Amino acid sequence: MPQIFHPSTNTIAKGTIFGGLFVLAAITWGANGWLRSSYVTQVDVVRDQPVPFSHDHHTAGLGIDCRYCHYTVEESSFAGMPATEVCMGCHSQIWKESPLLAPVRESFRTGKPLAWTRVNDLPDFVYFNHSIHVAKGIGCESCHGRVDRMPLMRKAATLHMEWCLDCHRHPDVAVREPGDVFRFGEEASSPVGMPPRGVFEIGARSTPDSAGHGLVEKNHIATGQLTDCVICHR
C-alpha cells in the first residue's frame, strides 16, 4: 500500500502537539497575570471621590481614631461612612471656606449625603463582617494597609479568596492585642521576633508564631471553622 503522508509530517505533528501545549501554558500564565494585575484587582489605584480626603493628614497628622468616622465598625458588618455632620463638626470651624470642601458644605446645606466611592468592595456573594474581625483582634492595617500613609485612599490588598483563606489558616500572624486594633505601624504590637503587623502577605511566614497563638486562644478564635465555606458564603 502506498504511503499517504511523507515521513516529515511526523515532525510537524509532534511540533503541533507540543506547540499547542506551550501556547496553552502561555495563555494560562497570561490570564493568571492579568487577573492579578492592578487593572483587575485595583490594588494601589486611587479612586475618584467627591472630596480628596486625606487619611494621612487626619489619621497620622491629627491623630483621629478610625472609629470617629467609621463609627459602626465595632458593632456592624459595615464599617460605616461618616455623615456630613461628622465632617462639619470640625469644618464648620476650620477650613470652612476651602474650595475643596465645597461638596461637603453643599451636602450639609441640602441634606443629600456625599456619594463616596467604595475602595474595598467584595462581591455580593461574599459575606464579610467587620465587627467580628475587630472583636477577635484583627487590626485595620491587616486588610487596609498603612492607611495613615495614604494622602488619597487606595486598596492595599487584592481581597482574593486565596488571600483571605491564608489569613484564616494562620490567624496568629494577624491577631493583635485589643488596644492595637486601630493603631498603625510601629505603634502596633507584634509577637516576639516578628516585624510590626501590616498587610497580610501570602507565604510570608513558615514558622509558628507562639505569641500569636496565645492571642488566638485568648480571643477564642475557632481556627477549626475558619476555612469552612459557610464562613464567607452564606
pLDDT digits (tens, 9 = 90+) for 20-74: 777 788 888 788 787 778 888 899 999 999 999 999 999 999 999 999 999 999 9
The greatest distance separating any two alpha carbons of the chain, rounded to the nearest whole angstrom, comes to: 99
Give the model's pLDDT for residue 23.
77
Give the model's pLDDT for residue 209.
59
Residue type for position 119? V
Overall pTM surpassing 0.75 (yes/no): yes
Q: How far is CA 71 from CA 42, 67, 74, in A?
A: 26, 5, 7
- Please give the Cα distance from 138 to 147 (Å, whole number): 15
Give the model's pLDDT for residue 12.
73
Query: Cα 182–52–54 angle (5° rounding)?
Result: 30
Give the model's pLDDT for residue 187.
57
Mention every residue, 6+ apart, whose C-beta is less than 8 A from residue 163: 157, 200, 202
Q: Mark residue 42 as left, alpha or beta (left: phi above 0; alpha: psi -120 to 50; beta: remaining).
A: left
For the chain, list residues with pLDDT below 70.
1-10, 13-14, 186-210
Burial of 225 (0-12, 13-18, 19+ CB in 10 A): exposed
Give the model's pLDDT for residue 40.
85
Burial of 3 (0-12, 13-18, 19+ CB in 10 A): exposed
Which cell goes with 117?
A: 466611592
* CA neighbor of 156 nearest in space, from 38, 56, 39, 53: 38
Percent of the chain with pLDDT over 90: 64
- Please give the Cα distance from 176 to 82 (Å, whole number): 26
Which cell goes with 93?
A: 470651624
Q: How far is CA 144 from CA 36, 56, 102, 109, 197, in A?
A: 18, 13, 28, 32, 12
Give the model's pLDDT for residue 5.
64
Residue type for position 10? N
